[in-house]
Amino acid sequence: MLRGAFCISEIHYGRGYVYSIQYHLVWCVKYRHDILYGHVDIDVKQLLKQIADDNNVKITEYSKTTSAIGIDLGITDFAILSDG
């Protein structure tokens, strides 16, 4: 049994490989001004969800303050990592 950050459903198996690709991204507003609230917060969250859905990426966690956004992403389709 695996312990830690991975869960069995997030590990992908193929012929000759096993992978679980996860990224943690943090965006900070310049000079840490408090602008991420109200409609700006809602618009940014919807835009990030749309981009993730269009690219077959799963947002596993979304956290924010008024000056930064943190997102954990899980890649579910290995093909999106190639240029072709």
pLDDT digits (tens, 9 = 90+) for 8-18: 457 777 788 88
Q: Which CATH code of 3.30.70.20, 3.40.50.720, 3.30.70.1290, 3.40.50.150 fits the domain covering 22-81?
A: 3.30.70.1290
Q: Is the pTM of this model over 0.85?
A: no
DSSP assignment of 42-71 equals HHHHHHHHHHHHHTTEEEEEEEE-SSEEEE
- The one-character DSSP state at 82 is S
pLDDT digits (tens, 9 = 90+) for 10-53: 777 778 888 788 888 898 877 777 888 888 888 988 999 999 88
Is 84 within 8 Å of 63 (Cβ atoms)?
no
Q: Give the sheet arrangement for strand 21-28, strand by strand.
A: 21-28, 68-75, 57-64
